[in-house]
Amino acid sequence: GENVEQHPSTLSVQEGDSAVIKCTYSDSASNYFPWYKQELGKGPQLIIDIRSNVGEKKDQRIAVTLNKTAKHFSLHITETQPEDSAVYFCAAPGGTSYGKLTFGQGTILTVHP
Amino acid sequence: GAGVSQSPSNKVTEKGKDVELRCDPISGHTALYWYRQSLGQGLEFLIYFQGNSAPDKSGLPSDRFSAERTGGSVSTLTIQRTQQEDSAVYLCASSFRTAPRTDTQYFGPGTRLTVL
């Protein structure tokens, strides 16, 4: 089955700095890579996703890059704000044809004002 | 439009009791997923429904766990004879099936289960 590794487990930045979270996956057939943001006491919220036919996708301050050869993808947040503080999860399809997701272990991002 | 809803939001039960957790998916979403999130951990897949059928239930941890979906909509996750290790947040997600392995999944707020 799919295995997703996520680093770092915690990330602390100053407001205005950039933050980068990296994930690797094992199944070369995986073709969809979402990123979720989870705030305390809430369910995960999709913030951006990328499909394997593109190498990069941007949405305002958030971008995701994908390297299929190396089997890794990254989340980039620019001009971080305190409200970006949350737990971020990457995911990849779970190695079957049905679309279950295998998640990374999460990154606790703290943005200091 | 309305998102995925789950009830109850919190459930406290005694060891050995049965519990039922409910999920209402986004209207029109044919696929429904259950995940479990233990304290400080990532999300662990439990079961997937396409319509009322469950093609993948590989993540259910034991035969104490079961789930059903009726009318292609509401799903119930049942845990029998609860144990303390069942304590976790149970998350439901749904998606509009467009293509296998590439659906966007939308999550509900979760049910926090505490087994005393």
Of B41, B100, B108, the CB nearest to A99: B100
Q: Rounded to an integer, what distance in angstroms lies between the CA atom of residue B8 and that of residue B76?
A: 11
Chain B positions in Cβ-Cβ contact with residue A99 (cut-off 8 Å): 31, 48, 95, 97, 100-103, 105
CB-closest option in A29, A43, A94 to B91 = A43
Sign for the pseudo-dihedral over CA of A38, A34, B104, A59: positive
Distance CA B46, CA B90 (A): 9
Distance, CA of B88 to CA of A48 (rounded, Å): 26
Q: What is the pLDDT of residue A98?
A: 65
Inspect the interface and report whether the beta carbons of B101 and A105 lie closer than 8 Å: no
User: Under a CB-based contact definition with an 8 Å cutoff, are residues A1 and A100 in contact?
Assistant: no
Is B45 within 8 Å of A94 when comparing Cβ atoms?
A: yes
Structure tokens at A11: 């990330």
> Any idea which of A75-79, A94-98, B64-68 has the lowest mean pLDDT?
A94-98
Q: What is the mean pLDDT of residues A61-82?
A: 96
- Rounded to an integer, the average pLDDT of A89-100 is 79
Calculate how close chain A gets to B111, using CA atoms only, in Å.
9
Query: Which neighbouring-strand residues pair with B68?
Result: B76
How much is the pLDDT for A31?
87
Measure B107 CA to nearest chain A CA, in Å.
6
- Widest distance between CA atoms in chain B: 42
Chain A interface includes B107 (CB < 8 A):
yes
The helix/strand/coil state of B71 is: coil
- Sheet hosting strand A56-59, strand order edge to edge: A4-7, A19-25, A72-77, A62-67, A56-59
Q: Which of A29, A34, A43 sits opposite B104 (nearest CB)?
A: A34
| Residue B103 vs residue B99, higher pLDDT | B103
pLDDT at B1 over 60: no
Is B25's pLDDT higher than 80?
A: yes
Q: How would DSSP label each residue in B13-24?
A: E-TT--EEEEEE
What pLDDT score does B56 carry? 87
Is there a contact between A30 and B108 if contact means CB atoms under 8 Å apart? no
Q: Look at residue B84 in the predicted model and tell me its pLDDT.
A: 96
pLDDT band at A67 (very low <50, low <70, confident <90, very high): very high
Interface probe, candidates B21, B91, B101, chain A, greatest A C-beta count within 10 A: B101
Average pLDDT along chain B:
92
Q: B103 or B10, which is more confident?
A: B10
Distance between CA A14 and CA A80 in Å, rounded? 8
Q: Tell whether B96 lies on the interface with A, counting CB pairs under 8 A.
A: no
Across B21-50, average pLDDT: 92
